[in-house]
Amino acid sequence: KALGRAGWRNVCTSPSRLQGCMSAWVIDQYGTNGVLKYTEEISIPTVSSPQEVMIKVHAASLNPLDVSMRGGYGAKLLKLRRDPLSVMDSDSEFPLILGRDVSGVVVDCGSEVTHFAPGDEVWAAVPPWKQGSLAEFVTLTEYEVSHKPKLLSHTEAASIPYVANTALSALVNAGGLCRDSASNKRVLITGGSGGVGTFTIQLLKAWGASVTVTCSQNAEGLVRGLGADEVVDYTAGDAAEQLEMMEKFDVILDSVGGETEQWVMGKLKPWSGAKYVTLVTPLLQNTDSMGLLDGALSAVFTLNSKVTQNMISSGIFYRWGFYAPDGPALDEVSKLVDEGKILPVVEAQFPFTQVPQAFQKLEEGHARGKTVVRVA
């Protein structure tokens, strides 16, 4: 395939064709929706290292992180990640392209890329420290990219990578679950109706776990349709009380955070290796408000004290879960999708001309799956 790929590159992509400018939605400053700007004058992000893959974007999707990043969330830490040694000519991250999910077609590959060739249909979750997918082209390293499920359109495929990489990283690395160990484990997902929740329900069911979710009453049909075994309507009364009637859990994935963290801990089986994993962490907020060193130290202090407190009081593992780029993990998800075990949950679609409307939709909250932007 590697030999063939070199040949295809010569045929399919002449460098001159891919040089120049592309259209994209960018921000030149942080703020509300008004800062989103359409331009046709962004340089095409060509392959600049041997491991890189350049993708023509067909569809992108939005995550709450895009709305937060538009407002400056995580700016300090992400800037450090983009340019750790401050060697870039420009001190500015602008113009910044948002959009974390991509489904598209490979148009160029670096000389050491072995798994992809021009013409391959791929999907990926773009790390927040890289230029995003609300653009005609995006360039990623091979490791971040995966072949898209054959059964899905680009619009459907774009709804999955970021939440999939997040859920897998949180469940496997922090929650200690995997395909072979999840069978019959009782898992609670708070916020089951959103992007992360709708994906995670299906993944855990494919792994044989028993899945309980909290969500609003009008999302019950959706989450049951995706496989949830037990549903707690948090709008119908105290969710903690409703969960009290149920058997306790082995793992909780908390995608709501805030006050939920206070009461949900008591729903885990004590002294049994049970794990609480939250996706809502103060790390980026702290580094934004206190600076990199103080913010990171404060976050570590908070984490350590919660880990210790929960371990001493009830033998529960307290963990933070994070998105992590992982193409091979998406390969596994791709198989589950093609086996019909995971379905895309696309709540809303917008054309590329209406990216601000897509952000507005996300900002209104009450997601029921994902909001996708058709780019090509």
Binding site for ligand NDP (CB under 6 A): 63-65, 163, 166, 190-191, 193-197, 214-216, 234, 255-256, 279-281, 321-323, 365-367
Shortest distance in whole angstroms from residue 194 CB to ligand NDP: 2
Q: Say if residue 95 is preceded by a cis peptide, omega within 30 of 0.
A: yes
In the complex with ligand NDP, which residue's Cβ is closer, 121 or 233? Answer: 233
Residue 9: CB minimum distance to ligand NDP, A: 34
Residue 286: CB minimum distance to ligand NDP, A: 13
Cα separation, 225 vs 210, in Å, equals 14
Nearer to ligand NDP, 196 or 355 (CB): 196
Smallest separation, CB 5 to ligand NDP (Å): 32
Given the complex with ligand NDP, which of 46 and 68 has the nearer CB atom?
68
Nearest distance, CB of residue 213 and ligand NDP, angstroms: 8
State phi, psi for 99 to the nearest 5 degrees.
100, 115
User: Alpha carbon of 77 to those of 69, 213, 273, 289: distances in Å?
Assistant: 12, 32, 32, 11
Token duo for residue 271 = 């002294």
Rounded least distance, CB 279 to ligand NDP, Å? 4
**15 is written with which tokens?**
């460098």
SS3 325: coil
φ, ψ at 253 (rounded to 5°): -105, 110
How many DSSP H helices and E strands does the chain contain? 14, 16
- Residues 6+ away with beta carbon under 8 Å from 207: 177, 178, 179, 182, 183
Burial (CB count <10 Å: 0-12, 13-18, 19+), residue 224: middle
By beta-carbon proximity to ligand NDP, the closer residue of 47 and 62 is 62
Instruction: Give whichever of 56 and 70 is closer to ligand NDP, judged by the CB atom.
Output: 70
The answer to whether the CB of 223 falls within 8 A of the CB of 202 is no
Q: How near is the Cβ of 367 to ligand NDP at its closest, in Å?
A: 3
Between 281 and 314, name the residue whose CB sits nearer to ligand NDP.
Answer: 281
Shortest approach of ligand NDP to residue 242 CB, angstroms? 12
Q: Which of 270, 281, 216 is nearest to 248 (CA)?
A: 270
Minimum CB separation of residue 347 from ligand NDP in Å reads 9
Q: How far apart are the first and last CA of the chain?
A: 27
For residues 373 and 147, what is the distance between their CA atoms, to the nearest angstrom?
Answer: 20
Tokens of 214: 């909290």
Task: Report how far residue 97's alpha carbon sits from residue 66's, in angstroms, rounded to the nearest whole number.
Answer: 10
Q: Which is nearer to ligand NDP, 116 or 249 (CB)?
A: 249
- Minimum distance, C-beta of residue 133 to ligand NDP, in the bound complex (Å): 15
Complex with ligand NDP: residue 123 or 323, whichever CB lies closer: 323
The DSSP secondary-structure symbol of 105 reads: E
94 or 263: CB nearest ligand NDP: 263
- Report which residue's Cβ sits closest to ligand NDP: 194
Distance, in Å, from the CA atom of 190 to the CA atom of 72, rounded to the nearest integer, reads 26
With tokens 């800062």, the residue in question is: 35
- Residue 149 to residue 166: CA distance in whole angstroms: 18
In angstroms, the Cα distances linking 112 to 2, 3, 12, 143, 192 are: 9, 11, 17, 12, 40
Q: Which is nearer to ligand NDP, 44 or 342 (CB)?
A: 342
